[in-house]
Amino acid sequence: MLFSSIQFLVFLGVTFALWWTVPAPYSVRKIGLLLASALFYCAWNWKPYFLIVYLVSFDYWIGRGLRHYSDPTKRKVLLWISVANNLGVLVFFKYINLLIDTAADLLAALSPGAAGEFLSLIAKLVSPFGITMSGSRLDVLLVAARRYAADHDGTLPGSQTELVPDYVPAPLRDPYDGGLLRLDDESIWSVGEPDAPEGVLLRLPLTPGAQRE
C-alpha cells in the first residue's frame, strides 16, 4: 500500500472518519489508531512489523527511564543505549545482504556446494525478517554453472538438476515465488517482486565479462 495509491487514500479516509465520528473514549480511539497503523505496515509485509513493535517498545521503556531518573549520567547512558539500539538495527538491515553476499562469494570461490549449504542455513535465520538473499543465491548458482561448463567442454547446464549434487547440494529456490531460480542459455535470474521493473529483480549473465542487468 503506497502513499500514492488509491488503496491508501481510501484507507486514510476511513481511518480519519472513524477517528472523528466514533463516540468512544480517547484511549479506545488511540488503540484503534494503533491497529490501523499495524494494518498499514502489515499490508506491505507482516514480518517486519514485529521489528517495529520491538523498536517502539524498547524506546518506550527508555523514555520511562529518562522520566524516572534525574541524574544526568544515568540519563545519558539510557540515551546512548537507545541510539546504539536503533543504529544497530539500521546498520544490520542495511548491510546484512552485503555481508551475506561477500561471505557467499568467498565460499563459492572455494566450493559452490558449501556456499549453497551456507545460504540455506542463513536463509532460515533471516527469512522471518523479510530478507530474501536473492542476489547471493544467484551468485552461488552462477559460479556452479560456470564450473559445470568448465568441466564439460564449455557446455552450460540445461537446468539446475544437472548441477546437483556435484556443484550445489540442492536446487536453489527463488525467494519471491518459491520456484527454482531461472536458468537459460544466456543467464540466470530471479523473478523479483511483482512491481519490479519488467518483473525481473536481477539477471546474471553466464558468459564471463558480460554485464549484469
Helix (H, G, I), strand (E, B) or coil at 118: helix
Residues 190 and 212: beta-carbon distance below 8 Å = no
User: For all residues of the chain together, what is the average pLDDT?
Assistant: 76
Query: What is the value of pTM for the model shown?
Result: 0.51
First to last CA, the chain: 27
Q: Which three cell numbers stand for residue 86?
A: 536503533
Higher confidence at residue 213 or residue 114? 114
At residue 92, the pLDDT reads 79
Query: What percentage of the chain has pLDDT greater than the value 70?
Result: 71
Calculate mean pLDDT across residues 70-94: 90
At residue 120, the pLDDT reads 61
Query: If you search the block for the grid coordinates 515465488, which residue do you land on?
Result: 177
Range scoring the smallest mean pLDDT among 4-8, 64-68, 184-188: 184-188
pLDDT, one tens digit per residue, over 164-211 is 877 777 787 777 777 787 887 777 777 765 544 444 456 666 665 433
Nearest residue to 192 via CA among 121, 154, 138: 138
At residue 204, the pLDDT reads 61
Domain ranges of the chain: 1-44, 92-205
Which of 53-62, 95-104, 142-151 is predicted most confidently? 53-62
pLDDT, one tens digit per residue, over 83-140 is 999 999 888 777 776 676 677 667 666 666 666 666 666 655 655 555 555 556 777 7
At residue 84, the pLDDT reads 95
Radius of gyration of the chain from Cα atoms?
A: 24
At residue 114, the pLDDT reads 67
Q: Which three cell numbers stand for residue 190?
A: 530471479
Question: Is the sign of the CA dihedral 7, 8, 13, 17 positive or negative?
Answer: positive
- The b/e string for 93-114 (b: 16+ C-beta within 10 A; e otherwise) is eeeebeebbeebeebbeebbbe
What φ, ψ does residue 143 adopt, rounded to 5°? -65, -40
CA separation for the pair 157, 134 (Å, rounded): 20
